[in-house]
Amino acid sequence: MTIQQRFQQAKAYYEHWNIDVEGALQTLKSIPISIHCWQGDDVGGFETKRQTLSGGIDVTGNYPGKARNGDELRADLEQALALIPGKHRINLHAIYAETEGQIVERNELQPIHFTNWVEWAKKHQLGLDFNPTLFSHEKAQDGLTLSHPDENIRAFWIEHCIASRKIGEYFGKALNSPCLTNIWIPDGYKDTPSDRLTPRKRLKESLDIIFAEDIDIRYNLDAIESKLFGIGSESFVVGSHEFYLSYAQQNNKLCLLDTGHFHPTEMVSNKLSTLLLFHEKVALHVSRPVRWDSDHVVTFDDELREIAMEIVRNDAIHRVIIGLDFFDASINRIAAWVIGTRNMIKALLYALLLPNDYLRQLQESGNFTERLALMEEFKTYPFGAIWDYYCETQQVPVRENWLNNVKTYEKELRTHRN
């Protein structure tokens, strides 16, 4: 049976429940995923004066062939994008500036240091997102940045974040697509603090200064990202969920939820409906924690599907900005991008192919028996046939056939990258 025949057969199952399969595929095409560049080089960056990875971030593995410069990283991203259906975005960190061998301090970064990325994005019709890099730096060695008691160190990081917002504005204007500029800091203490309030007051004051800079919201969207704990900040994190949620609400900023930044028993999917009631937009960094914020490659698991269902069933497709954030150096880095991104898109398609309105009616009427029965039965509906058809129509490999492309590319680059 051909992919088209399997699609038509599967489509009939879904249409029995008045699900517009063709409409679902059109909607899916309109959802961009922001793919993080740092999977391609293990969060290394291109700084001339490179620092050891820090900030509670750990990348394990030494799979051969990681990108060593901008050209190689962009080539790898092109290979991954060719295997992922749809049109998407690329998410950059400040350490991916290209300074032609010159030492440029992070607080002195300018749009000119990212022109290669912008020209490449234009060529491939991609949007760009951005993040200031407040880790892996001599001024972050003690684990404090925007909440640091040293005024000079705080000022350095404030200037870096302001510079980053200007770079985000440049991206948005150059590409005619708003850039999400997200601030995450590693600040915290390994052991129990004697004062939690003062560091948080300093963080609030730093953010107030950063956001006081006039940046055009048509081109740059500001987000702030929380964390529960990290390596070296096990007992206290300054930028907690409560802190950033309150700050975002009060100052009209986006609250960004990283799926690895909460307690293992907390479900980010359960938080989305609440945030959508009080915020115009919400941002996500989708990762997969394994016992901690370990940033494993996203798989098609229960929580990923729940996140997608919350986005779809709450009509929030254009209100939730979806980005990815994982880094695994134990497997082929391009394959990691493809696996994780395709899974995020699969989850959204799965959610689009549910009888969400009918399920809502069942709940409202108290018919929990039929609600549970249908939710379980739809798990084995022929969703895969719809996904295969979508991939074929988007001219990317169907099922596991994309692995052949990665293997061929890997053979070619192994002769050049040792």
Backbone angle region of 162, left / alpha / beta, with phi > 0 → left and psi within -120 to 50 → alpha = alpha
Would you call 72 a catalytic residue per the annotation?
A: no
Query: DSSP class of residue 296?
Result: B
Would you call 261 a catalytic residue per the annotation?
A: yes
Catalytic, out of 261, 271, 328, 387: 261
Would you call 105 a catalytic residue per the annotation?
A: no
Would you call 184 a catalytic residue per the annotation?
A: yes
Given the DSSP bridges, would you call strands 236-237 and 320-324 parallel, antiparallel or unpaired? unpaired
**Helix and strand totals (H; E) in the chain:** 14, 10
Catalytic, out of 325, 328, 388, 410: 325
Catalytic, out of 41, 129, 187, 258: 258
Distance, in Å, from the CA atom of 60 to the CA atom of 368, rounded to the nearest integer, reads 45
Catalytic, out of 184, 337, 387, 402: 184
Helical pair 3-15 and 21-29, crossing angle rounded to 10 deg: 110
Catalytic, out of 295, 328, 388, 410: 295
Would you call 187 a catalytic residue per the annotation?
A: no
Instruction: Please check whether residue 222 is in contact with residue 207, taking contact to mean a CB–CB distance below 8 angstroms.
Output: no
Q: Token pair 């971030």 is at which residue?
A: 57
Would you call 225 a catalytic residue per the annotation?
A: yes
Supply φ then ψ for residue 288, to 5 degrees: -140, 105
Instruction: Please check whether residue 259 is in contact with residue 284, taking contact to mean a CB–CB distance below 8 angstroms.
Output: yes
Tell whether the torsion through CA atoms of 37, 39, 44 and 46 is positive or negative. Answer: negative
Distance, in Å, from the CA atom of 301 to the CA atom of 299, rounded to the nearest integer, reads 5
Distance, in Å, from the CA atom of 179 to the CA atom of 335, rounded to the nearest integer, reads 26
The H or E element spanning position 227 is none
Catalytic, out of 42, 129, 222, 293: 293
Would you call 377 a catalytic residue per the annotation?
A: no
Q: Looking at this protein, which amino acid is placed at residue 200?
A: R
Catalytic, out of 225, 303, 328, 410: 225
Backbone angle region of 287, left / alpha / beta, with phi > 0 → left and psi within -120 to 50 → alpha = beta
Would you call 325 a catalytic residue per the annotation?
A: yes
Which positions are catalytic?
184, 225, 227, 258, 261, 285, 293, 295, 325
